[in-house]
Amino acid sequence: MKGLIRSFLTTGSTFLRKPVTREYPETHRELPERDRAFPLLLWDQDVHEPFCTGCHACERACPVECMTVMMKDNPAHTSQGGTSSRRKIIDKFWIDYGRCMRCNICVEVCNFDAIGMNNTWSGHESSTADRLDLVMDLQQLLSQSRAGAVKPWIAP
Amino acid sequence: MTSVLLQPEHEFETQDIFVNMGPQHPSTHGVFRMVLAVDGEVVRDVLPYIGYLHRGAEKLCETMDYRQGIGFMDRTEYLAAFNAELSYVMAVEKLAGIEVPERAQWIRMILCELNRLSSHFMFLGAFGVDVGVLGTSFTYAFREREVIFDLFEEICGDRMMYSYFRVGGLAWEVTDNFVARVHQVLASARQGIEDLDGLLTANEIFQARTKGIGHISAADAIDWGMSGPSLRATGVSLDIRRDEPYLFYPEVKFDVITGTNGDVYDRYICRLQEMYQSIRIIEQCLQRLQPGPIVPERMSRLLRTPPGEVYLRTEAPRGEYGVYMVSNGGNRPWRCKVRSACLSNLQALRDMTVGHYVSDAVLVLGSIDIVLSEVDR
Amino acid sequence: MTAEFLGIEMPVLLEAFIKVNIVVLAMTVVVMALIYLERKIIGRFQMRLGPTRTGPFGLLQSIADALKLVGKEDLRPTGADPWVFELSIYFIFVPVFVGFVVVPFAIGWEIRALELGLLYLLATSSVSGLGFAMAGWASDNRYAMLGGLRAVAQGVAYEIPLVVTLLAVAMLSGSLNLREIMLDQGTVPNIVWQPLGFIMFYIAMLAELNRAPFDIAVGESETAGGPHIEFSGIRWSMFQLAEYAHLWIMSIVGSAIFLGGSAWPLGEDLGTPFQLLLMGIKSSALIFLAMWTRASLPRLRIDQLMGFAWKVLMPLAFIQVLVNGFVIVYDLPLLLLTVQGLIGIVVLNWAIQRAVARPAGRPGIAAWAASEATS
């Protein structure tokens, strides 16, 4: 009976301790800086255009092939009378969040620090009723960074 | 023997009942299916079915370069992803002859042992539920697992699929308060182990349920190719960390825990004691941790390996997790085969279960501590 | 025949009808409260919060559950035996419900204080085993069948120690009337004279109720719900209702018989509200203990369960009856009973230790099964 009593005492001691439950939808735990949700494209606030030049590096490196990238000539390049130093710029970009496995490789291969992993709760709470809604286009990918809502952590 | 009942014309026609367990069953730990032939309550035969979670991870790895494969290794062993990554990256390093910096190796050791802790917590919690403590052990275990996962999230950004080890070292440096945080986690883990220990180990009902159940002899265990705690519970002192050292395991002190009877109780005790050893290893690693580089200075951007083959095994929480890799000189493996500990351990299921009660079949399955993603890959 | 109820003279049948209705309504509320409390309390034992979503502190959780269950489709498997399947829940629920007739909520607060009240209660409550067997058999499901058979075996086995321990107490009071037994403990509750009896009653009670550590019939991790498995909606909620109503009855009866009910320590002269409160506290303590047990102990196996009932509890219960008889017939001091009870607890402890220390495993069965498999 000694062991039974020990079990009772253990549960009794946890009965008196504080519950560890995080009441999720009301209180969101603060996410660490390095938290990885889904990849986002970043916005260059200085010249008001995406960092991304559409170089296809991430598309080639993606293990699950969830990205589609198309580039174009940058209309805002200095040679065209603009202010940007980017000769080429991203035209169309799709990421299928349904396929992405959040491995961070796209961030590592990017030469321009133009893509980063969303480290806010908005990246985690992205459930949709339709699988096709998980395919993000360029506007959706850029919107959060453009609004200044995210500051992804990119490994030095 | 002249009883009327035993005379042929009065002989009872008895028939075994077939009870199907899984793939949707509370205690098959994933999508495992077994069909039990039951005579009353006694199991007469077991027929396991695997493959519900087969995703072809090995084949996928052959279509990817070495870095891309790491993410798939995470998913073959989702409860101890660091250990799975470790086998993979070390196989590639051995193939390519890359020297890993010291600091990276120490950090790898710490993270792998922490992952072993979290994996064993998962075992203890689920095992308690199998024995029937209504989830109390489960919540105790998950409480501590969350603490460990919080640390992992701070370091590598993800809670289960880390994708943090790289060929040659680590993806990036750990956080500044790493050492202090690990100490915090260890203190919490100790409390968790004590709680689970107090809840289960000495409990008479628990002992009556687990002692002498699912016995397997050392010789049979070796014949089936079992490894890890399931093998050590039979008394075979085999631990790859000690017998075929990798990383800096020769430089830390730890005991290899062995059982004597090879029953369910011994497998439980082995895992419980191993957790204390893991804590011991981590504490020694933290003392030896020095600042330094985490990737080799000269690493080519696109890794190519010389032709050849390599088999590298490490001691994952469930046993020997080996990666067999053949390269034909390209930037991707020509063949990548994962030697899964769970699959080998699971083969002994029939030997261990037949002759016990239905309730014990659940216990035996739980005590092998299978992860179906590792069995099916 | 007339009877007085709340100061009004009325026909006996009408009085009984009114009282039954009050009890049934109270039971529904109490069962809902019990389900909520169990979830909350077990949550705290597991360092969780329990239900928090519905209403403040999740107070409306039981009501939400009940509404959901009522709204669910009433399913019956194709292969099920329709009549037995439909009737089984009544065989589980009605016996429990009928038991409320003699439950003494306070002195004078029962529907009928039958002279053979204890016998009546035990006789009715043991019928529900039949309901489990019917549910398990008729469901056309192997888990349900295993669970149903387990429930019957267990119910039959634990009926005997339960009855014998309670009869041992009844010997002390010299009555089977629950009110008499309660009033007899005005000065000292029976637990002092029968400590072993109380422990055995508590164990047998848990087994009768199919609660942990004796919940092998339901056994979520093995038979995935046992006899309940094919029931849904309102039928399934009847199982729950019966389980918790039974828990309530047993806790009140246990506190009436062993803890002095509403008679001890305030005596019978204090007003009914105090008596109700006292009974409430005592029965809540027993229910809390049952929940604590559920959160702490693993489940037994069927053979261990049966062995424990027949080899340990039965002999001890009969010895208790014998000793009680000697003490009463020869007018020995009652303190002897306490001493005997404490010795009995030591013996119980020894029996449990022995069961664990024995090299477990049944090579006999294993060898038999292996030979059968090869032949």
Determine, yes or no, domain membership for B333.
yes
Q: What confidence score (pLDDT) does residue C98 get? A: 85
Q: What's the Cα-to-Cα distance from B63 to each of A42, A68, B68, B150, B323, rounded to whole Å?
A: 30, 19, 9, 33, 16
Q: Is B177 exposed, middle or buried (CB count within 10 Å of its CB: 0-12, 13-18, 19+)? A: exposed
Strand order in the sheet with B42-49: B17-21, B33-39, B42-49
Q: What confidence score (pLDDT) does residue C238 get? A: 85
Report yes or no: B115 at the A interface, CB cutoff 8 Å. no
What's at A112, amino acid-wise?
A: F
Determine, yes or no, domain membership for A118.
yes
Q: Which of A105-109, B146-150, C114-118, C271-275 has the highest mean pLDDT?
A: B146-150
Q: Render B129-140 in DSSP notation, one character per residue.
A: HHHT-TTHHHHH
Instruction: Write out residues in chain B with pLDDT < 50, as ranges.
Output: 1
Instruction: Give the range of the structural domain holding residue A64, as residue numbers without chain letter.
Output: 36-146
User: Cα–Cα distance between C313 and B49 in angstroms, integer?
Assistant: 42
**Angle in degrees, 0-180, between the axes of helices B358-368 and B102-131, rounded to the nearest 10:** 170
Mean pLDDT, to the nearest integer, of C156-168?
Answer: 87
Rounded to a whole number, what is the distance in angstroms from the first to the last CA of chain A? 59
Residue C365 pLDDT exceeds 60? no
- Minimal CA separation from A29 to chain C, in Å: 17
How many domains, in total, are found in chain A? 1
- In chain C, % helix, strand, coil (3-state, to 5) comes to 70, 0, 30
Determine, yes or no, domain membership for B189.
yes
Mean pLDDT, to the nearest integer, of A38-46?
Answer: 86
Enumerate residues 6+ apart whose C-beta is below 8 A from C237: C65, C66, C69, C70
* ipTM > 0.85 (yes/no): yes
Closest chain B residue to A63 measured between Cα atoms?
A: B68
- Minimal CA separation from B288 to chain A, in Å: 25
Question: Nearest by CB to C47, which of A1, A12, A14?
Answer: A14
Q: What confidence score (pLDDT) does residue C364 get? A: 43
pTM: 0.88
pLDDT over 90 percentage in chain C: 1
Residue C375 pLDDT exceeds 50? no
Chain B residues 116-145 within an 8 A CB cutoff of chain C: 128-136, 138-140, 143
User: Cα–Cα distance between C312 and B69 in angstroms, integer?
Assistant: 60
Report yes or no: B11 at the A interface, CB cutoff 8 Å. no
Question: Nearest by CB to B27, which of C216, C222, C353?
Answer: C222
Chain B residues 142-181 within an 8 A CB cutoff of chain C: 143
pLDDT digits (tens, 9 = 90+) for C15-46: 888 888 888 888 888 888 888 998 889 888 88
Determine, yes or no, domain membership for A115.
yes
Could you give the 3-state DSSP secondary structure of residue A67? strand
To test the contact with chain A by mutation, choose from C38, C39, C41, C46 the residue with the greatest count of A C-beta atoms within 10 A, namely C46
User: Cα–Cα distance between A143 and B288 in angstroms, integer?
Assistant: 46
Supply C212's token pair: 């942990």
Residue C372 pLDDT exceeds 60? no
CATH number at residue A116: 3.30.70.3270
Q: What confidence score (pLDDT) does residue B10 get? A: 53
Determine, yes or no, domain membership for A18.
no
Number of CB pairs < 8 Å for B and C?
131
Q: Which residues of A touch C48 (CB under 8 A)?
A: 19-21
Mean pLDDT, to the nearest integer, of C315-331?
Answer: 87
CATH number at residue B91: 1.10.645.10
Determine, yes or no, domain membership for B85.
yes
Determine, yes or no, domain membership for B42.
no
Q: Which residues of C touch A6 (CB under 8 A)?
A: none
To test the contact with chain B by mutation, choose from C140, C141, C216, C221 the residue with the greatest count of B C-beta atoms within 10 A, namely C221
* Beta-bridge partner residues of B36: B19, B46
Closest chain A residue to B207 measured between Cα atoms?
A: A3
- Minimal CA separation from B238 to chain A, in Å: 31
Whether the CB-CB separation of B311 and B323 falls below 8 Å is answered with yes
Enumerate residues 6+ apart whose C-beta is below 8 A from B108: B82, B86, B100, B165, B170, B247
- Minimal CA separation from A6 to chain C, in Å: 9
How many domains, in total, are found in chain B? 1
Q: What confidence score (pLDDT) does residue B7 get? A: 55
Supply C295's token pair: 């959160």
Question: Nearest by CB to A11, which of C49, C292, C353?
Answer: C292
User: Cα–Cα distance between B146 and B134 in angstroms, integer?
Assistant: 20
Task: Check residue A82 and report its DSSP letter.
Answer: S
Instruction: Give the range of the structural domain holding residue B104, as residue numbers without chain letter.
Output: 54-376
- Minimal CA separation from C54 to chain A, in Å: 13
Q: Render B85-115 in DSSP notation, one character per residue.
A: HHHHHHHHHHHHTPPPPHHHHHHHHHHHHHH
Inter-chain CB proximity A18 and C296 less than 8 Å: no
Determine, yes or no, domain membership for A58.
yes
Determine, yes or no, domain membership for B294.
yes
Determine, yes or no, domain membership for B343.
yes
Q: How confident is the model at residue C371 (pLDDT cuts 50, 70, 90)?
A: low
